[in-house]
Amino acid sequence: MRHWIHGPLAHCEDTNVVFFRGISLDVVTQGLLGLRRMPLAHGKGTDWGLLLHDMHSWDAGDYEPADYRGLCSGGGELVVFVTEPCRAKAHGPRFEYHRDGRLITRFRFETLDYRAGEEPDLLLPALTTANLVAPGARLDTDGDDDDKEERIVQAVARFFSLPELEMPPLL
C-alpha cells in the first residue's frame, strides 16, 4: 500500500484515497457526488471500506478541498489521504481523520508539527513511535521525501488498522 502516496495512483491522477467504516459505500458515494467529486474505484476490507475519488470538483475552476464532515455523521469514520494537493507548488500529501461528522485531526506531511482538529495529537504516539516527530526524529536527513511519506502512511495505517490498498478496478 505504501508506495502509492508519493506518486499518482496507477490509473488516477489528482486522487483522494478515503477509507471508511461505520457507513455504507452507498452513503459515501452519494455524499461525494453531492460534493461534486467523481468516485473512481472502491474496495472492501474486513473492517474498512475504500473509495478513490477525484480530488477536484467537476465544476470548472473549483479546486477547493472536499468537506468530508457531512459524509460521516451518525458514527461513521473517514481516514483521508490527499495524495497530490498541489503538484505545481510541490506541496506534499495531506491527511485527515473525521469521526461522527467532525474533523478530529489533520496535518500536512511536510509539517507534522502543525496538526489541527478537535484532537490534533491523536496520532502523536504513532508518529513518535515511527521517529517522525519529537527529539531524535529522522526527517529528511537524506533528502528522501518518498521515504518519509511512506513512513507516515505506515504509521497511520498501523494506528487505524487499515487494509492494504490494492488497486481496485475502475467504477
Q: Phi and psi of 106, rounded to 5°?
A: -150, 145
Would you say residue 168 lies in a domain?
Answer: no
* Model pTM score: 0.84
Would you say residue 90 lies in a domain?
Answer: yes
pLDDT tens-digit series, residues 37-64: 989 888 888 899 999 988 877 776 667 7
For range 157-166, the mean pLDDT: 87
Question: How many structural domains does the chain have?
Answer: 1
For range 8-26, the mean pLDDT: 80
Q: What's the domain range around 51?
A: 2-160
Would you say residue 169 lies in a domain?
Answer: no
